[in-house]
Amino acid sequence: MLSELLTEEKIRFSSDSLTWRQAVTQVAEPLLAAGDITPGYVDAMIDSIAAGGTYIDLGYGIALAHARPESGAVRTAISMLRLTDGPAPLLDRPEHAVDLYFCFAAVDATAHTQAMSSLARILSDTETREALRAATSAADVTKLITRFEEDR
């Protein structure tokens, strides 16, 4: 379940004005600190986005940064960064303005499917997506996700 992976320690908020590179680096920090990913994983995400990776833009101002497992995923993990001072557009393109970044690492092709399915349901639900964006603390986010999962 998503609630088991996206714990309070892996949720951050920033009031700084960031570039997309800074946002990707910051969203990855909790996973790096926990040993879930290696520094090479962060580099691989940035390189992939720089090479035209706006595919991580899920719409609604949300992006899911990730790389291949062999790029340095140690454990399946996810983190979140909410930018409260405005978006950090991917590749500096206004049409890819993102203020809610997720970083996802999967160790193989199947380990992450349940968590990704839960995240997709949460982000597909307009009310829950907006509540997620309106959250002001990591505790608010975890409560919201847990409640959503319990209601399903």
User: CA angle, corner 11, sides to 124 and 130, nearest 5?
Assistant: 30
Kindly list the domain boundaries of the chain, sorted by start residue: 2-150
pLDDT score of 20: 97
The amino acid sitting at 27 is V
Question: Is the pLDDT at 23 greater than 70, yes or no?
Answer: yes
Question: Is the pLDDT at 117 greater than 80, yes or no?
Answer: yes
Name the average pLDDT for the chain. 93
**Mean pLDDT computed over 106-134:** 86
Question: Predicted confidence band at 111 (pLDDT cuts at 50, 70, 90)?
Answer: low
pLDDT score of 113: 80
Per residue in 61-106, pLDDT (tens digit) is: 999 999 999 999 999 999 999 999 999 999 999 999 999 999 999 9
Per residue in 132-144, pLDDT (tens digit) is: 999 999 999 999 9
Question: Is the pLDDT at 1 greater than 80, yes or no?
Answer: no
pTM across the whole model: 0.94
pLDDT score of 115: 79
- Answer whether 69's CB lies under 8 Å from 106's CB: yes
- Answer whether 76's CB lies under 8 Å from 106's CB: yes
Look at the alpha carbons of 99, 100, 106, 111 in this order and tell me if their dihedral is positive or negative.
Answer: negative
Q: Which segments of 5-136 are extended strands (E)? A: 11-14, 57-59, 62-66, 77-83, 100-105
What backbone torsions phi and psi does residue 43 show, to the nearest 5 degrees? -60, -40
CATH number of 2-150: 3.40.930.10
Of the chain, the percentage scoring pLDDT greater than 90 comes to 79
Question: Predicted confidence band at 31 (pLDDT cuts at 50, 70, 90)?
Answer: very high
**Mean pLDDT computed over 4-31:** 96
